[in-house]
Amino acid sequence: MYMPLIAHISPLHFFFLHPIGIKILVKCNQVKNLALATTNEYGAFEAQLPSSKCEAKILGGPKQLYVSRKTMITSIMKVHETDSYTTPQPLSFYTTSPWSKNHDGKCGTENDAIGRNIGSSKTIDLPLPREWGLAPSSYYVPFIPIIGIP
């Protein structure tokens, strides 16, 4: 016997209008099968639950989402006086990096001692000839040997 789950997601940006196509994974205790739900244009999703002890988790969407670990997973509870289930709080997410100052999606915070903006830690990949048979240069840790003469 399957029980219906009806719940919502909540974008944390006020300018995000249509949370369509965001995937929600529902996992129940002692059940191997997982339920996958997709949100509609109002941010609602429905799934069929095989048991009552379940959790819902945001998987992703058509665009990149930023989700806090605290709000990524939520438990599922029974709605009073009905046969359906819902989440106690909506699953919430950001559409751009919450650390972005101007909501351009680029991560970076001003947590430097001087107040400088710390950007991403993307490595530089130098082109190495294939004939050398080496791994990409981004795999190597920079090392400057100290040569001492006793």
Question: For 74-133, what is each residue's pLDDT tens digit?
Answer: 888 888 888 888 888 888 887 777 666 555 555 555 555 555 555 556 666 677 787 888
- For residue 116, the model assigns a pLDDT of 57
DSSP string for residues in 82-111 = SS-EE-SS-EEEBSS-TT-SSSSS---B--
| Domains annotated on the chain, with CATH | 3-93 (2.60.40.10)
**Is the distance from CB of 21 to CB of 39 less than 8 angstroms?**
yes
- For residue 83, the model assigns a pLDDT of 82
**pLDDT one-digit tens code per residue, 35-71:** 889 988 888 888 888 888 889 998 888 888 888 888 7
**Is the distance from CB of 91 to CB of 71 less than 8 angstroms?**
yes
Contacts by 109-117 with C-beta closer than 8 Å and gap 24+?
none
Q: Are strands 44-49 and 3-11 parallel, antiparallel or unpaired?
A: antiparallel
